[in-house]
Structure 1
């Protein structure tokens, strides 16, 4: 046996024994324990062990005395790398290893691996007859150069370790850096040098750990994902703050991302130059979608204020050169209501002057997507005609119909004084013409046939509603019969026609 092989085996025994036998055993064990999709990680250590085995065979067949010392050091270093790599793979990639040691943060894993590989290098240098510690201590200049070169890197490394020890956030948390919404995102990974954050724009941002340690962080996931949002708006001085608060809170009804608990609230924030400043505060547990929810709340405010006749004030210093007379505005609105009523087949037999008379006593209302126009079980005395948009009709939690432009609803409660039989919700932005009892009284006096047509429509809708509810296996059913005749008598009695 060659001097190189005898020296290698002797040194191997001296430094821990049987390294050559331990390496292939570890590789075989990992080949069994590693999942199939992770076995490619064995390529590097297996190749190095094959290189060491080839050196042994070559030296055994053709001894190379002139290079025995150098080849032994190289082979010894490769064996150490194979063993270190195999042990780390066992602890981090196999089920048995994860059962022994719980999964560690990536930065801790990286540091442990770096220390293990550094120890292997130190042992290899020591086996080669060199003392790495003495080299570093005898070269002060080298130490200074290395320290200056690695100043930022070491700072990020220790900052990353401090973040892992303090744990102000975990992977998967939503954070804001320096309380800036543009710097908000989800923590993807905490490495030894930097932290990766996926922003709300789906852009990956890499922030050095030193900056993360110094920055003011806001964790939107802790202690709970529930966070308060503030929507600023203004209202005129001539409106009572209590009325503004009630109107604003009603606009939040039905918004899925707005939590009922803690309840929303409205604060009077400031008396400004031309308006009163308010803040609508609500809570949500959907931080990634908070911007979309804010937009929905603002749109609800616009629709709700528009229906309530509340206008958002503008600065008094604005100069408006175009002045419109109030009567002109009223006539224009009446014409729009007339056009809307004309498109409803129910009123198609009315003369133009009768349409105008009916429109004069009606009003126009606008609703945003998802808002409830009427609620099942509530009292009501208004008929709604769809001028623009679509609505969803549901009873007992079951969708029974969808109505579009030119169709109407709400006639049952208006004509028979019954409570609303269904809930109607806007599918998108809707414009409706609302006709009350007094406005219909005159139309019925002039056109009695309207009563018959309306009663027939009510009976047909009631039959469709009963059929839908029975198909949904609900408990409420209505007896069949001549509904049109029954409803006609009730309507005539109500309007005394």
Structure 2
């Protein structure tokens, strides 16, 4: 490095009446040019008498920075970057262009600015991370940032003042700008002030384990905007400082005058056959003799009877955890030792006991229930006009064969043209009966409610469905199959004639509801014809 005088000579070209450092030369009061050499702001910044002191200051800074690099490994990257910036600035100042042109002057001015910023950065780190810790003072990290910002602002004001600007106007303008920024950056400023408060009052420090709501982890950094928390799941959660200050959080394991330890609870249940004193003695002696890793020796682990529930005694082991990052793992180790200690003394853990009231279905109960259902079905069959000729015994036989069949709104119960040998007896609800016409349209011919029946032609003659039945609401039906009716008709062949008469009347009534052209093409079958179809379908011989 050149001497201080060489630095000044390279920085300050002495040309009368020329623009120096990008700023115009002064004019003489008489209106002419001043013939005296103009003093640049760089020469004001570094007077001739300070050259040797500046060299000594730079050397002292380099020595202290080397010490900081060796003693504080976490600052090495920042220290190297600042030293590199200062070195480049010094090279430009000493070895830069010397022709006094405006470009060369601007380059040197920028180098001076960078040198100042680098030195401020280095001294802020050395003060906060080297000198004060040697005096056993550990200021919060955010104070270093504040000191750095103030130093940079001060350096900028010095440069502006030496350049000839009036700082009073800057202060007035900056006050207005500051007010506007403060209004528009309320959240950001709130986080900054909250972060400063957190560190100044030592309410939470880097390294503390905290719990806020469901979040639990270790604080790794408190910066201007947020607090960074590392969880046990290897996640880094960013909490805004203002949110942390407004809410409630717990600092885990922190007790005045005690080492970092956090009390944990492990629960287990034992039946009532063993005295609680025996269980407590066995568990405590086992844990104290084991000296498990992560479990503090003082206070010692203890076992407590917590209550009686559902046929067992509820116990808890309380121990103090020394490694807060290994909470679940240490809990597991403690549980394992508790289980082993109990097994060695033939003590078994218990599960909850419950008294369940059950009703045993006996023959009388089942008989009464079946009789009730059977009576309900017989009453439903009596409402079916088609089965009015059956006696009580025959109705009971059919009732026992009925199958409960529910439908919900919109279900298609039967399709027109489909073949199905079922009769539906409606208990409740409503259904619509639709018929497809030759022109492709369809017509609503009937709406049936609870107590009605449909599908009788399919059951008695085996013919395809003459209409489509759709559930208008939730419908409950009882379904009667052909096989259930077969035995009754086989024993009473005269029923076919009675049933055929009813079928003929129902078909005639339904046909009258259809258009005239449909009636002409689909005449209703006569009673004799229906009797013959029923006999053929059920395989009944004529008598």
Structure 1 equivalent of residue 349 of structure 2: 311
Change (3 A) 1:318 1:139: farther
Shift of 1:10: 5.9
Structure 2 equivalent of residue 176 of structure 1: 210
Change (3 A) 1:40 1:318: farther
Matches within 5 A, 1:84-123: 84-85=120-121, 87-88=123-124, 91=127, 104-123=139-158
Write the distance in 2 (CA, Å) between the matches of 1:207 and 1:17: 52
Matches within 5 A, 1:419-458: none
Shift of 1:108: 1.0
Write the distance in 2 (CA, Å) between the matches of 1:12 and 1:317: 98
Verify the 8 A CA contact 1:45 1:85 in the aligned structure 2.
Answer: no
Which is greater in Rg? 2
Change (3 A) 1:179 1:244: farther
Change (3 A) 1:33 1:112: closer
Verify the 8 A CA contact 2:92 2:108 in the aligned structure 1.
Answer: no
Verify the 8 A CA contact 2:262 2:320 in the aligned structure 1.
Answer: yes
Matches within 5 A, 1:29-428: 29-35=60-66, 38-53=79-94, 57-59=98-100, 63-64=101-102, 77-78=113-114, 80-81=116-117, 83-85=119-121, 87-88=123-124, 91=127, 104-131=139-166, 134-135=169-170, 137-138=172-173, 142-173=177-208, 175-178=209-212, 180=214, 182-185=215-218, 187-214=219-246, 215-223=248-256, 224-252=259-287, 253-257=289-293, 258-307=295-344, 308-316=346-354
SS in 2 for 1:161: helix
Verify the 8 A CA contact 2:61 2:119 in the aligned structure 1.
Answer: no
Verify the 8 A CA contact 1:92 1:98 in the aligned structure 2.
Answer: yes
Change (3 A) 1:79 1:39: closer
Ranked by relative contact order (alpha carbons within 8 Å, sequence separation 6 or more), the top structure is 1
Change (3 A) 1:247 1:100: closer
Shift of 1:280: 1.5
Write the distance in 2 (CA, Å) between the matches of 1:275 and 1:130: 85
CA displacement 1:50-97 (0-9 Å, x = unmatched)? 4445667231xxx44xx899788757645643553454465457x678
SS in 1 for 2:333: helix
SS in 1 for 2:99: helix
SS in 2 for 1:34: helix
Write the distance in 2 (CA, Å) between the matches of 1:198 and 1:176: 10
Verify the 8 A CA contact 2:267 2:316 in the aligned structure 1.
Answer: yes
Shift of 1:318: 7.7
Would you say 1:13 and 2:44 are equivalent positions? yes
Structure 1 equivalent of residue 452 of structure 2: none
Shift of 1:113: 0.3
SS in 2 for 1:256: coil
Change (3 A) 1:89 1:256: closer
Change (3 A) 1:125 1:72: farther
Ranges in structure 1 where 5+ consecutive residues have no aligned partner: 321-497
SS in 1 for 2:290: coil
SS in 1 for 2:144: helix
Structure 2 equivalent of residue 27 of structure 1: 58
Shift of 1:47: 2.4
Verify the 8 A CA contact 2:269 2:312 in the aligned structure 1.
Answer: yes
Write the distance in 1 (CA, Å) between the matches of 2:266 and 2:132: 51
Verify the 8 A CA contact 1:178 1:218 in the aligned structure 2.
Answer: no
Shift of 1:164: 1.9
Q: Which moved more, 1:67-76 or 1:222-231?
A: 67-76
Shift of 1:167: 1.4
Shift of 1:226: 3.1
Write the distance in 2 (CA, Å) between the matches of 1:29 and 1:233: 66
Shift of 1:146: 1.1
Write the distance in 2 (CA, Å) between the matches of 1:132 and 1:76: 20
Which TM-score applies when normalising by structure 1?
A: 0.52
Change (3 A) 1:310 1:77: closer
Verify the 8 A CA contact 2:41 2:162 in the aligned structure 1.
Answer: no
Change (3 A) 1:73 1:146: farther
Shift of 1:8: 5.1
Shift of 1:156: 2.2
Change (3 A) 1:270 1:44: same
Verify the 8 A CA contact 2:269 2:349 in the aligned structure 1.
Answer: no
CA displacement 1:103-127 (0-9 Å, x = unmatched)? 5432111110011001112223333
Q: Which moved more, 1:39-48 or 1:14-23?
A: 14-23
Write the distance in 2 (CA, Å) between the matches of 1:150 and 1:21: 46
Verify the 8 A CA contact 2:204 2:251 in the aligned structure 1.
Answer: no
Shift of 1:132: 5.8
Write the distance in 1 (CA, Å) between the matches of 2:357 and 2:286: 32
SS in 2 for 1:57: coil
Verify the 8 A CA contact 1:31 1:39 in the aligned structure 2.
Answer: no
Shift of 1:101: 9.4
Which TM-score applies when normalising by structure 2?
A: 0.48
Verify the 8 A CA contact 1:183 1:199 in the aligned structure 2.
Answer: yes
Change (3 A) 1:50 1:263: closer
Change (3 A) 1:318 1:197: farther
Ranges in structure 2 where 5+ consecutive residues have no aligned partner: 1-13, 22-36, 70-75, 359-543
